[in-house]
């Protein structure tokens, strides 16, 4: 009898643990992500603060079928599709950008680095009007802007 009770307790604990473990790629409410954002900070490889030379925008929008992103960097427009999004995880696919040459090397370098990080982001965090996108040791910080 004690063995059965013990097995039932173990089964119950395993069931609770299995049900409470979070899958970071389950469907979540993305309404707080949708809208216009402006790049406010760029930390590259954990210790390089990259100055933002011009306004860089990012917009997330959602239809019944998909969530997309688009924006304007220092010289080029860009966009993509959100392949998956979870409580903390995000994956961007079909990333594209126009290929207009920037007027100087500083803008070219910034934009290349920005696109590299943005197209590779794996994590996100939204706190009030701040959005942080990260990939490994690089972080993009955005402030929400009016529509």
Q: What is the pLDDT of residues 14-66, one digit of tens each?
A: 333 333 334 444 556 678 899 999 999 999 998 889 989 889 999 999 988 89
CA distances from 129 to 43, 45, 72, 126 (A): 19, 24, 20, 7
Report how many domains make up the chain: 1
The span from the CA of 42 to the CA of 61, in Å, is 23
**List of long-range contacts for 104-109, beta carbons under 8 Å, 24+ apart:** 106/53, 107/53, 107/54, 107/74, 107/75, 108/75
pLDDT the model gives residue 28: 63
Q: Would you say residue 9 lies in a domain? A: no
Q: Would you say residue 17 lies in a domain? A: no
Contact 121, 133 (CB under 8 A): yes
**Residue 120 main-chain phi, psi, to 5 deg:** -110, 0
Q: Would you say residue 91 lies in a domain? A: yes
The fraction of the chain above a pLDDT of 70, given in percent, is 80
Q: Would you say residue 10 lies in a domain? A: no
User: Can you give the pTM of this predicted structure?
Assistant: 0.78
Domain that holds residue 138: 23-145
Q: Would you say residue 5 lies in a domain? A: no
pLDDT average, residue stretch 91-99 = 94
Q: Would you say residue 56 lies in a domain? A: yes
Q: Would you say residue 93 lies in a domain? A: yes
The span from the CA of 144 to the CA of 121, in Å, is 18
pLDDT the model gives residue 98: 96
CATH number at residue 40: 2.40.128.270
Q: Would you say residue 7 lies in a domain? A: no
User: Closest Cα partner for 97 from 77, 112, 121?
Assistant: 77
Q: pLDDT tens digits for 62-82?
A: 988 899 999 999 999 999 999
């Amino acid at each position: 009898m004690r063995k059965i009770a013990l097995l039932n307790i173990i089964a119950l604990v395993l069931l609770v643990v299995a049900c409470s473990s979070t899958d970071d790629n389950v469907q979540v409410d993305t309404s707080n992500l949708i809208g216009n954002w402006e790049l406010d900070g760029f930390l590259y490889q954990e210790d390089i603060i990259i100055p933002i030379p011009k306004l860089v925008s990012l917009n997330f929008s959602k239809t019944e079928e998909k969530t997309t992103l688009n924006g304007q960097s220092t010289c080029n427009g860009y966009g993509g599709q959100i392949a998956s999004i979870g409580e903390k995880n995000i994956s961007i696919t079909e990333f594209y950008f126009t290929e207009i040459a920037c007027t100087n090397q500083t803008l070219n370098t910034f934009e290349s680095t920005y696109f590299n990080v943005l197209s590779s982001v794996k994590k996100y965090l939204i706190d009030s009007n701040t959005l942080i996108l990260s990939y490994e040791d690089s972080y993009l910080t955005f402030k929400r802007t009016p529509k």
